[in-house]
């Protein structure tokens, strides 16, 4: 029996990267999984792996969480089979480009996913556990980023969306103290996933490359911190130090430093549909 046996966990963005590794970390502890993202075959492969490796139940719900109403529809599907005891709001993406070089529809899609879907699912989760006894904690993890520590030129809307996630999650953490819901905000630094290819990023400076971690390490640390009731975790020593000194520095300095560390956007890397020129 693992420490999460009998608990059901919903993980968004579970088709790859950090979300898939969080699902593995929860399954190792005995939790049943509801895996969601847009790519069904990847989710089905992961569900089969988790059933075989850990003997846990694993279901798949394909959903595009940037579509209006999709987050609440996912919640209804997920809770139809029983309560969701653990919610991991992980799905997210960003575009690494000057703001004016990105199609507005891609930006609004990102904001609906990174912010609105996360708020809708968090709200449903908090309501569902309002009367839950405090000796049976329910866990909510929201995945932000160390981009939440300062404005990030060329990642303007993405970094700002993660500021929202961090502040929202930390406020909920304090609101829920003494109640059953434990709220954790995971703030990864650079992590080896498809995120960078999707963002059109990757020409990072030496410091950013040196601080990159594997998704498995980030996920395991995040799940441990969530279960310990920690408010926020920045993964990796270099990233922790960077956030600490960022907090002490003037914002003009940290914004310029982030431009230097992040390097230049790769103009060749994003599909043409992400550019405003593709719009009518």
- What residues make contact with ligand NAP under the rule CB under 6 A? 13-19, 37-39, 63-66, 90-93, 113, 143, 145, 188, 190-191, 193-195, 198, 215
DSSP string of 201-220? -----HHHHHT-EEHHHHHH
Cβ closer to ligand NAP: 16 or 151? 16
Are the beta carbons of 253 and 153 closer than 8 angstroms?
no
- Is 204 catalytic? The answer is no
Residue closest to 122 by CA, chosen among 164, 60, 178: 164
Cβ closer to ligand NAP: 180 or 183? 183
The CB-of-165 to ligand NAP minimum distance in angstroms stands at 8
Q: Packing angle between helix 17-28 and helix 215-227, nearest 10 degrees?
A: 50
- CA distances, 243 to each of 119, 188, 192, 239, 257 (Å): 25, 11, 20, 6, 12
Closest residue to ligand NAP, judged by C-beta, is 17
Which listed residue (139, 158, 174, 204) is catalytic?
158
The CB-of-11 to ligand NAP minimum distance in angstroms stands at 9
Residue closest to 222 by CA, chosen among 166, 191, 190, 184: 184
The CB-of-198 to ligand NAP minimum distance in angstroms stands at 5
The CB-of-125 to ligand NAP minimum distance in angstroms stands at 17
Cβ closer to ligand NAP: 137 or 190? 190
Cβ closer to ligand NAP: 126 or 234? 234
The CB-of-179 to ligand NAP minimum distance in angstroms stands at 26
C-alpha 234/C-alpha 17 separation (Å) is: 17
Cβ closer to ligand NAP: 27 or 91? 91
C-alpha 23/C-alpha 91 separation (Å) is: 13
DSSP string of 111-151? HIIIIIIHHHHHHHHHHHTTT--TTS-EEEEEE--GGGGS-
Read off φ and ψ for residue 142, nearest 5 degrees.
-110, 130
Location of structure tokens 């829920």: 176
Are the beta carbons of 168 and 116 closer than 8 angstroms?
no
Cβ closer to ligand NAP: 143 or 156? 143
The CB-of-235 to ligand NAP minimum distance in angstroms stands at 9
Would you please indicate which residues are annotated as catalytic (active-site) residues? 158
């Amino acid at each position: 029996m693992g420490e999460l046996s009998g608990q059901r966990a919903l993980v968004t963005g579970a088709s790859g990267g950090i979300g898939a590794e969080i699902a593995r970390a929860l399954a190792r502890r005995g939790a049943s999984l509801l895996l969601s993202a847009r790519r069904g075959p990847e989710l089905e492969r992961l569900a089969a792996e988790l059933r075989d490796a850990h003997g846990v139940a694993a279901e798949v719900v394909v959903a595009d969480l940037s579509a209006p109403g999709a987050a609440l529809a996912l919640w209804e599907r997920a809770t139809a089979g029983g309560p969701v005891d653990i919610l991991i709001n992980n799905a997210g993406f960003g575009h690494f480009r000057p703001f004016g070089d990105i199609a507005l529809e891609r930006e609004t899609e990102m904001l609906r996913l990174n912010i609105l879907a996360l708020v809708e699912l968090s709200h449903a989760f908090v309501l569902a556990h309002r009367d839950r006894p405090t000796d049976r904690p329910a866990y909510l993890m929201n995945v932000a980023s160390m981009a939440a520590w300062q404005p990030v030129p060329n990642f303007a809307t993405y970094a700002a969306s993660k500021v929202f996630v961090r502040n929202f999650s930390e406020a909920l953490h304090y609101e829920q103290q003494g109640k059953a819901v434990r709220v954790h905000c995971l703030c990864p630094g650079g992590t080896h996933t498809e995120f960078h290819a999707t963002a059109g990023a990757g020409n990072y400076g030496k410091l950013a490359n040196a601080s990159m971690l594997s998704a498995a390490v980030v996920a395991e640390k995040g799940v441990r911190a969530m279960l310990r009731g920690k408010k926020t975790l920045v993964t990796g020593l270099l990233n922790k130090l960077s956030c600490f000194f960022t907090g002490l520095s003037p914002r003009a300095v940290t914004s310029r430093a982030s431009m230097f560390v992040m390097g230049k956007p790769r103009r060749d890397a994003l599909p043409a549909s992400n550019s405003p020129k593709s719009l009518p």
